[in-house]
């Protein structure tokens, strides 16, 4: 990793630029097909390319976007003018990234837990992705909350995989996004989410240390600490901020440069309000607290687009608005009133 240290730091310098965050546009084909189908949009290579091209060419997006996580299919696609989509981003000063995991499978010995696949041949794939313009990567491990899950084995095994992935990426000169996601599904309380998230992050950073991963050259992409979707009461932004920051201060080294939260099933305004509350109340946090949202940036866009070329301008305006809201939240200057100023 030492030979690539300056390269990694140069990538991170772009990622942490003031007011900017990351768009997660790396939905797998089955996932984006499900979202398209709900809106009556046919999912094929052409429609997926058109939608992602809409996002990447949105006027003004470069003011709020430091990077975009791509799905493998997208990395090889071209815009209408024949320019590779990765180059469309790069020319606007937006770094292309790439999802490199291969999805989850049940973890033997830990009923209810899963583990992510894709370590075999990873270094060779990274070389190819880098040649296509990728500057950073993403790997996601997921943890469902039940009375029994995640198990100790599930927590430790997933941490080990994340650390192995991150080490390979740094050796290849690509900044790894380390994404341990405690899922929002369930009836659990915010206290239970905090308990699990703290255990997960503690295990992840212990594994990163064992594998000699340079924590100053990673991006952490965790969940916010929130109650389950089916819990009787939603938490306020202040409650989410307090719980999340408490867990982060107990587990995440100050050497980590940036924490880019996933939205994890929250609505666009919920994710924005919660991120804003963290930045508004803790201006002395040792890390940048930013965003790497997927649906919290894309849901209004996809709903307006509906697969029609005639709707592109309206969809791009909605995307730019959500980016601006997320950017304000990164600075702790968002307010609900700004949502209506369009």
CATH code for the domain in which residue 314 is found: 3.20.20.70
Q: Which domain holds residue 248?
A: 2-331
Q: What pLDDT score does 341 carry?
A: 73
In a domain, 165, yes or no: yes
- Give strand pairing partners of 260: 290
Q: What pLDDT score does 2 carry?
A: 61
In a domain, 218, yes or no: yes
Q: Which two tokens stand for residue 328?
A: 């304000």
In a domain, 59, yes or no: yes
In a domain, 220, yes or no: yes
Question: 290-327 as b/e, with b when 16 or more CB fall inside 10 Å?
Answer: bbbbbbbbbbbbbebbeeeeebbeebbbbbbbbbbbbb
Distance CA 152, CA 200 (A): 9
In a domain, 339, yes or no: no
Q: Give, for all 342 residues of the chain, the pLDDT tens digit.
A: 567 999 999 999 999 999 999 999 999 999 999 999 999 999 999 999 999 999 999 999 999 999 999 999 999 999 989 999 999 999 999 999 999 999 999 999 999 999 999 999 999 999 999 999 999 999 999 999 999 999 999 999 999 999 999 999 999 999 999 999 999 999 999 999 999 999 999 999 999 999 999 999 999 999 999 999 999 899 999 999 999 999 999 999 999 999 999 999 999 999 999 999 999 987 789 999 999 999 999 999 999 999 999 999 999 999 999 999 999 999 999 999 999 876
In a domain, 94, yes or no: yes
Q: Under 8 Å CB-to-CB from 206, ≥6 apart: which residues? A: 159
In a domain, 195, yes or no: yes
Q: What pLDDT score does 340 carry?
A: 83
Total domains in the fold of the chain:
1
Q: What pLDDT score does 212 carry?
A: 97
Do residues 153 and 110 lie in contact, with contact meaning Cβ atoms separated by under 8 Å?
Answer: yes
Nearest to 274 by CA among 308, 304, 244: 244
Please identify every residue annotated as catalytic.
179, 221
In a domain, 277, yes or no: yes
Distance CA 275, CA 289 (A): 8
Dihedral angle sign, alpha carbons of residues 20, 96, 33, 305: positive
CA angle 140, 25, 302 (to 5 degrees): 130
Distance CA 291, CA 275 (A): 8
Distance CA 107, CA 188 (A): 22
Q: What pLDDT score does 1 carry?
A: 57
Structural element, H or E, at residue 290: strand 288-293
Q: What is this structure's pTM?
A: 0.96
């Amino acid at each position: 990793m030492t030979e690539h240290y300056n390269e990694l730091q140069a990538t991170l310098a772009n990622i942490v630029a003031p007011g900017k965050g990351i768009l997660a546009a790396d939905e797998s084909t089955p996932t984006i097909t499900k979202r398209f189908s709900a809106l009556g949009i046919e999912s094929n290579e052409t429609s997926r390319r058109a939608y992602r091209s809409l996002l990447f060419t949105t006027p003004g997006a470069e003011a709020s976007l430091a990077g975009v996580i791509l799905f493998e299919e997208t990395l090889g696609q071209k815009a209408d003018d024949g320019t590779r989509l990765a180059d469309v981003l790069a020319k606007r000063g937006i770094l292309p990234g790439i999802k490199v995991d291969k999805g989850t499978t049940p973890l033997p010995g830990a009923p209810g837990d899963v583990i992510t696949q894709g370590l075999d041949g990873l270094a060779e794939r990274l070389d190819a992705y880098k040649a296509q313009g990728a500057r950073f990567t993403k790997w996601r491990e997921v943890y469902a909350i039940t009375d029994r899950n995640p198990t100790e084995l599930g927590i430790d095994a997933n941490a080990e995989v994340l650390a192995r992935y991150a080490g390979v990426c740094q050796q290849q000169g690509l900044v790894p996004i380390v994404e341990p996601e405690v899922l929002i599904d369930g009836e659990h309380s915010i206290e239970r989410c905090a308990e699990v998230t703290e255990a997960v992050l503690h295990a992840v950073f212990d594994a990163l240390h064992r594998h000699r991963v340079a924590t100053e050259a990673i991006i952490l992409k965790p969940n916010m600490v929130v109650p389950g979707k089916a819990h009787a009461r939603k938490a306020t932004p202040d409650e989410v901020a307090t719980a999340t920051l408490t867990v982060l201060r107990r587990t995440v080294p100050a050497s980590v440069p940036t924490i880019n939260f996933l939205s994890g099933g929250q609505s666009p305004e919920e994710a924005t309000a919660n991120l804003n509350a963290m930045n508004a109340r803790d201006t002395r946090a040792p890390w940048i607290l930013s965003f790497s949202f997927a649906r919290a940036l894309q849901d209004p866009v996809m709903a307006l687009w509906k697969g029609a070329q005639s709707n592109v301008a309206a969809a791009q305006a909605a995307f730019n608005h959500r980016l601006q809201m997320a950017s304000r939240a990164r600075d702790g200057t968002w307010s609900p009133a700004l949502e209506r100023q369009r």
